[in-house]
Every structure is written in structure tokens, then in C-alpha cells.
Amino acid sequence: MIAHAIFFYTFSIIAVVSAIMVTASKNTVHSVFFLILDFISISCLFIMIGAEFLGMIMLIVYVGAVAVLFLFVVMMLNVAQQKNQWFAGQQSSKHIPVGLIISTLIFVEVIIVIGGWKYKPEIFDINNSIAQTSISNTHSLGQILYTDYIHVFQISGMILLVAMVGAIVLTFRQRSGVKRQSYIKQISRERAEGVEVLEVQSNKGVKIDD
Amino acid sequence: MEYLSIVFQEVYKILFLLVPVLVSVAMIVWLDRRVWAFVQKRQGPNVVGPFGLLQSLADALKYIFKEIIIPSSSNKVIFILAPIVTMTLALIAWAVIPFSATQVLADINVGILYLFAVSSLGVYGIIMGGWASNSKYPFLGAIRSAAQMVSYEVSIGVIIINVLLCVGSLNLNDIVIAQQNMWFVIPLFPMFVIFFISALAETNRPPFDLPEAEAELVAGYQTEYSGMMYAMFWLGEYANILLMCAMGAILFLGGWMSPIDVYPFTLVPGAIWLILKILLLFILFALVKAIVPRYRYDQLMRLGWKVFLPLSLIWVVLTSSYLFYFNLLPVN
């Protein structure tokens, strides 16, 4: 149990500190790296409470794909200077109320959820929870997701698909004057079209591209 | 005291796994160069030790004694972290590889997800190295590799789903045992081919070695690295290749299972079968390097997104409908 507690506090301290560093660090790329550290320590926490599937999916989806794209965008756009201006200028005061409102909302939500567990323990019965049963977290997720919650699951998938299609439609623009390479054309080129063997007469030369 | 003895036992087990892996990484570099040379009718490294077997050790010694140069304009912490990340990620994945029904360091029930997660984190070593070098060529290499590895991970993930549909478990040992009657390479052969090609792209092997394309980018993300840090990138890369081969062997070639289930073959320990299968896949990797020219970048992306992703998705639909229709879905 002591080892468990040590690991729990290590991961949670790393998670909290790196979450603070995400907003505090001056360099945007450093922020993203701290975000990745945050994701990793949170997935470790997930694994520690027995939600190994969630933890692994968190690693694969957030760290392996989403954060890579973040890094990609941040590095390409070079927003490092921009962020410095953001902090130095007077603009920052405009954003403080919005940030405060959002953080208060999230704080209240968390309080409601935790308070529900605390004062109405029967809402979340620890004895019937997944962690207590013999089957693994992955199995029970599969059994619940594809039976009881199949419609919700499918609808959330559809929402993601619509969002993806929407993002592509919004950002896609047909540019004119771009030479496109058709690989079928390139592969299907025959020798006869590309190469021509000519008998060259001396002192006459060859006429190319007429 | 009890804690300490458990810790020592685990450390002993980990060393027993890691030291052979590191030695075989060194050997595999030699094998790679030899196969490459034989295809081109050369001799390859054959001077140091018998058949040149100790060439990699000599190289490693050379790297150790070289000076480590850290560019003054680089981001020093991330610059030093990058090869460490590559190396660590390549090695921690070996924890879940089963060498026989009992010989596995951590027999976790989401083993294949762990392998997939660790291999998808591998891109960070390259991005960090490329960005922290603060130089044009490494940065271009890093950007290229980020796009490339993310694209090919998607198809590898879908291929893994194909295998999992036939197994019904995420545990690597269960995946191996499910292939008792027939290796998955037979019913899922197209997926095996796509997995092999995606693994080439995921590990930045030729013909997909665009992140380090010598002709255009000097050496891509490792241009600014020298000495032991360069060697760590290099070791991590080969450990990753071995890991991908092990993944292919477990998913499609029956892992530690003997190919023929008759008496003299079943006596051979599972670890040897697994190693032979990994070597087979690795020699294929090396042959591809020698035979195929480098892909153009747009064709690489096209292959990943427009060919492999739809194909493997269609195969998921096919596999699941076949299993459902003939009532073969693994339920436990």
C-alpha cells in the first residue's frame, strides 16, 4: 500500500506541476512538452486505479497523435514570439475575466461530482464498481459500450465524423494553376513515348522539340 | 526487506531481458550491413572478429570515445533528452514481449495496446531532436517524420484491430495461443503485407527513410548529434526495428509457437522460435533496404492515407462480417 501511495503522489504531483507549467512556460514548444508529460502522468494514474484500457487509449490518442499534431502546428507556425507579445501587452487583461468564468465553471462542476460521491455514496456504489469485479476493465468496457450504450457510442462516432468532414470542407480550397502529378500517368508511360532513337547525320544535328 | 528483495528480483529479470536485447541490437546492425552488402555483391564488415561479428562493438567503442558536441544555439535540455527518449521507449516495449507461455516480464492484459502506445510515442525522440538542434535540416527531418509516423500508425492500429477480432483478447500470450491451429499470416495475408510495409515506414527504414534522407537532409534529425548521443539514436532505431519485427512475429507468425506441432519441434524452447521469426522478418527488412529505391514524399503520404487506410478498414469489415456470419467470434 505504501508503494501504491508513493506512486500515486509522484504521478499526481508531476501531473499538477506540469499542468501549471503548460500555462506558465514562455516557450510554446515547452508548453506542449509539458502537456505531453501531463497526459502521460494522467494515463499512469488511470492505470493505477485499474482503468488500464483508458490509460493506454489516452497514451495512444492524446500523446501519440493529438500532441504530435499540436507540436507540428506550434513548430510550423512558430508562435513562440507571438505568445511573448500576448503576455507583455495590455491585451492580457481582456482575457482574464473569460478565463476566470471558465475556470470557476469547471471548478463548480468538479465540486458537484465529488460532492455527489461524498454525500450520497449510494450513487456510486464502490462495491459494484468495475474495479471490484473479477473481469478486467477492458472486458467490462466492451460489454457495456456495445450493448447498453451502443446508440450513444454510435452517435458520438457520427459527431466526430461530421466534425472531421466539416473541418475538411471549411479549410479545403481548390487552387488553380497547380500542376498535379498523376501517378497512374507516370507509371503507365511507355518507352516509346519517352525515348526516340534517331540516326544522326554528321554535320546536320538533330532538331529537338518542334 | 521484503520490498527490497522483490525489487532486486525484478531488476535481475529486467537485466536478463535488456542485456540480450542490447547485444542482439548490436548483432543485428552487423547482419543488416552484411545482407545489404551481399545483395550488392560486396563483402560488408568482415574484418573485426570472426565474420566481422564484433564490428558493431568496435563502432560502439569508437562512439563512446568521441566528443559529444552540443550546438551553442540548441535547446540543451531537450537536445540531450531526445536520444534518451528514443532509447528508453525502444527498450521499455520489450517488457511485454512473451518469449514463451511463462517467460514474459509483464503479462499485462492490454499488452498489444501497450506495444502500440510505446511505438507511437517513438516519434517524440525524433521531433525533440530535430527541434532542439535549432537547425534547418534536422527540423525538416523531424517535421517529415512526424507526419510520416502519425500516418502509418493509423494503418497499423487498424491492422491490429483485424487481429484482435480473431483473438478476442488484448493479451499478447492469448494472441499467440489463438494461432495454435493456423497462423494469422494465412487468413490475414494482405494485412501482413500492409503491416510489414507500415512497419518499414514507422521505423523510418528505407524505402521510407525520408526523415534522414542523406541526399537531401544530410542525416535529418541526427545531423547535429555526435558521439554517444548519435549512437543512442542509432541503437534506439535498431531496437525499434527489432521490436516491430517481434510485433509482426507475434501478431502474424505465431510468436513463440513452433511452426509444426510435432514432437522434435515442440522440444525447442519458444524463445528460439520467436528469435528465428524475428530474424526472418529482419532479413526481409534488410533485403528491402538493399533492393527498393527511396519513395517520393507525396507518394509516401498517398500510400499511407489513400491506399493502406481504406484497404485495412475494408478488411476490418470483411473479417468481422465473416466471423459474425459463421459465428466464429471469440467470446469469453
Which tens digits make up the pLDDT trace of A185-204? 888 888 888 887 878 888 87
Give the gap in angstroms from C-alpha B116 to the nearest C-alpha of chain A.
Answer: 7
CA distance B68 to B230: 9
Residue A75, chain B, CB below 8 Å: the answer is yes
Residue A188 lies in a domain: no
Q: Does B146 contact A71 at a Cβ distance shorter than 8 Å?
A: yes
B154-183 average pLDDT score: 88
- Provide, rounded to the nearest whole percent, the portion of chain B with pLDDT above 90: 17
Residue A172 lies in a domain: no
B73-81 average pLDDT score: 86
Averaged confidence pLDDT in chain B: 86
Tell me, yes or no, whether A33 and A4 share the same domain.
yes
Tell me, yes or no, whether A59 and A82 share the same domain.
yes
Averaged confidence pLDDT in chain A: 81
CATH code of A7's domain = 1.20.120.1200
**Is the pLDDT assigned to residue A112 strictly greater than 70?**
yes
**Which among B8, B204, B223 is positioned nearest to B90, based on CA atoms?**
B204
Residue B55 pLDDT level (bands cut at 50, 70, 90): confident
Tell me, yes or no, whether A76 and A124 share the same domain.
no
The larger pLDDT score, comparing residue A127 to residue B210, is at B210
**Is the pLDDT assigned to residue B131 strictly greater than 70?**
yes
**Is the pLDDT assigned to residue B77 strictly greater than 70?**
yes
User: For A124, what's the count of Cα atoms within 13 Å in the CB-facing half-sphere?
Assistant: 9
Tell me, yes or no, whether A40 and A83 share the same domain.
yes
Residue A195 lies in a domain: no
Q: Does A63 contact B110 at a Cβ distance shorter than 8 Å?
A: no
Structural domain harbouring A67: 1-91
Residue A209 pLDDT: 67
For the segment B228-273, what is each residue's pLDDT rounded down to a tens digit? Answer: 888 888 888 899 999 999 999 999 988 888 887 777 777 778 888 8
SS3 B114: helix
Size of interface A-B (CB pairs under 8 A): 62
Q: Name which of A14-18, A23-27, A103-107 the model is least confident about.
A: A23-27
What does each C-alpha distance from A44 to A11, A57, B41, B160 come to in angstroms?
7, 11, 50, 23
Residue A154 pLDDT: 92
Tell me, yes or no, whether A121 and A141 share the same domain.
no
The partner residue sitting opposite B110, judged by closest CB among A71, A138, A183, is A138
Give the CA angle between residues B127, B132, B133 to the nearest 5°. 105
Residue A203 lies in a domain: no
What one-character-per-residue DSSP string does chain A give?
-HHHHHHHHHHHHHHHHHHHHHHH-SSHHHHHHHHHHHHHHHHHHHHHTT-HHHHHHHIIIIIIIIHHHHHHHHHHHTTHHHHHHHHHSTTHHHHHHHHHHHHHHHHHHHHHHHHHHHH-TTTS-TTTSGGGSSS-HHHHHHHHHTTTTHHHHHHHHHHHHHHHHHHHHHH----SSPPPP-HHHHHT--HHHH-----PPTTT------
Tell me, yes or no, whether A86 and A145 share the same domain.
no
Tell me, yes or no, whether A30 and A103 share the same domain.
no
Tally Cβ neighbours within 10 Å of residue B206: 20
Give the gap in angstroms from C-alpha A149 to the nearest C-alpha of chain B.
Answer: 19
Give the gap in angstroms from C-alpha A117 to the nearest C-alpha of chain B.
Answer: 29
Tally Cβ neighbours within 10 Å of residue B306: 10
A145-164 average pLDDT score: 91
Residue A209 lies in a domain: no
Residue A16 lies in a domain: yes
Residue type, A209: D
Residue B68 pLDDT: 85
Residues of chain B contacting residue A183, judged by C-beta atoms under 8 Å apart: 299, 302
A87-96, B120-129, B206-215, B323-332: range with highest mean pLDDT: B120-129
Tell me, yes or no, whether A125 and A142 share the same domain.
no
B212-237 average pLDDT score: 79
Residue A205 lies in a domain: no
A116-133 average pLDDT score: 62
Tell me, yes or no, whether A64 and A1 share the same domain.
yes
CA distance B311 to B237: 28
B220-224 average pLDDT score: 78
Tell me, yes or no, whether A53 and A119 share the same domain.
no
Which value does ipTM take for this structure? 0.82
**Is the pLDDT assigned to residue A90 strictly greater than 60?**
no
For the segment B81-100, what is each residue's pLDDT rounded down to a tens digit? Answer: 889 998 999 889 899 999 88
For the segment B283-316, what is each residue's pLDDT rounded down to a tens digit? Answer: 999 999 888 888 888 888 888 888 999 999 999 9
CA distance A48 to B117: 17
Residue A183 lies in a domain: no
Tell me, yes or no, whether A82 and A17 share the same domain.
yes
Question: Please, is A91 exposed, middle or buried when counting C-beta atoms within 10 Å of its C-beta (0-12, 13-18, 19+)?
Answer: exposed
Instruction: Tell me how many domains chain A contains.
Output: 3
- Whether the CA torsion B109, B111, B116, B119 is positive or negative: it is positive
Residue B196 pLDDT: 93
For the segment B16-35, what is each residue's pLDDT rounded down to a tens digit? Answer: 888 988 888 988 989 998 88
Q: Does A68 contact B127 at a Cβ distance shorter than 8 Å?
A: yes
Tell me, yes or no, whether A97 and A87 share the same domain.
no
pTM of the model: 0.84
Which residues fall within 8 angstroms of residue A2, CB to CB, at 6 or more apart? Answer: none
Mutation target vs B (from A27, A39, A59; most B CBs, 10 A cutoff): A59
Q: Does A65 contact B153 at a Cβ distance shorter than 8 Å?
A: yes
Residues of chain B contacting residue A75, judged by C-beta atoms under 8 Å apart: 127, 131, 139, 142-143
For the segment A39-89, what is each residue's pLDDT rounded down to a tens digit? Answer: 999 999 988 888 888 888 888 888 888 888 888 788 777 655 555 555 555
| Residue B63: alpha-carbon gap to chain centroid | 23
Residue A126 pLDDT: 54
